[in-house]
Amino acid sequence: MYLFKLLSTFLKVNIQLDLAYRADVLVNGLMSLFWLGWELLSLSIIFSNTQQLGGWGPSELIALLGVWRLVNVLMQTIVWPNTEKFNTGVRDGSLDYTFLQPANSQLLISISRIVVWRAWDFVLATILIAAGMSGSGRLASPLQIAAFLALTVSGAAIIYSLWIVLISLTFWFTKFDNNVTIMQALMDAGRYPAQVYPFWLRALITFVIPIAVATTVPLQALRGELVAWQIGSFLLVGAAALFISSRVWKAGVRRYSGASS
């Protein structure tokens, strides 16, 4: 109940913040449509020269684009805005006030800034997934849909956990403003199946910065390509990532001495 009240309060504040600049919301929504058109045009160019990409057809790549955009919704709604806010807080000392609040500091860091208008991107991503799966002629079973949803949440948890670990490094390395630059640069790799990349890059986006686990893997479940033990393993990885990131955050907080020290 307390968590719900906290989330609803932050959500209301951020809605008011976004609505204060209605023209920006409209322009950003139109830009989302523009980039979607550009991404679909890129896929059409690719498939004008081939029928498959890594064993995936054009409709399946559209569905994968939808999953990739879901991950981007997480990044652009929470991760990037709060990264900037966190780094600023470390420099100017405003982070000190976060630790004085009677709430979990990791939660406060994660939801203090929410770009609410990005919900529009969530709708677009959902449409892409539905259209792509329909165009591929695959009829997913209820179990496959459930596995897809669970793995999508788990993949988002992994990306979020990686972000928490990266910003926590600031507690040890004070000048670490580019703590998510590599992660951001590799995000584009998730818009294509992991199978199309060379082994070293496939290993990097699967095990080091697991973009593929958040994009390719959920769609593989929706396509019925994963068995129960694989699904369970990826879900355990998501849970383990959340646990490890929370421990790293707490260790960093214990090390933090405040901007005035």
Q: Does some domain include residue 261?
A: no
Within-domain flag for 260: no
What local confidence, expressed as pLDDT, does residue 197 receive?
83
Classify residue 129: in a domain, yes or no: yes
How many domains are there within the chain?
A: 1
Residue 64: inside a domain: yes
Question: By the 8 A CB rule, do 63 and 134 touch?
Answer: no
Q: Is residue 180 part of a domain?
A: yes
Q: Which token pair is 60?
A: 């399946």
Examine residue 211 and state whether it is found in any structural domain, yes or no.
Answer: yes
In-domain check, residue 34: yes
Q: What is the chain's alpha carbon radius of gyration, rounded to the nearest angstrom?
A: 19
**C-alpha distances in Å from residue 96, one per residue of 65, 79, 88, 99, 107:** 39, 20, 12, 6, 15
Q: Would you state the pLDDT for residue 121? A: 84
135 inside domain: yes
pLDDT at 243: 95
Instruction: Give the CA angle between residues 28, 33, 35 to the nearest 5°.
Output: 90
pTM: 0.83
Q: What are the C-alpha distances in Å from 185 to residues 188, 190, 192, 256, 258?
A: 7, 11, 14, 28, 31
Q: Which residues contact 13 (CB under 8 A, 6 or more apart)?
A: none
| Amino acid, single-letter form, for residue 77 | T
Domain containing 17: what range? 2-255
Give the pLDDT of the chain (261 residues) as one tens digit per residue: 666 777 777 777 777 776 766 677 677 778 778 888 888 888 888 788 877 777 788 888 888 888 888 888 877 888 778 887 787 777 777 788 888 887 788 888 888 888 877 778 888 888 988 888 888 777 778 898 999 999 999 988 888 888 888 888 888 876 666 666 667 777 777 778 888 888 888 888 877 778 888 888 898 888 888 889 999 999 998 999 999 999 999 998 888 776 554
Q: How far apart are CA 239 and CA 197, in angstroms?
A: 27
Residue 244: per-residue pLDDT:
94
Q: Can you give the pLDDT at residue 151?
A: 92
What is the structure's pLDDT at 195? 80
Residues in the chain: 261
Backbone angles phi, psi at 142, to 5 degrees: -55, -35
Return d(Cα 38, Cα 24) in angstroms, integer.
Answer: 21
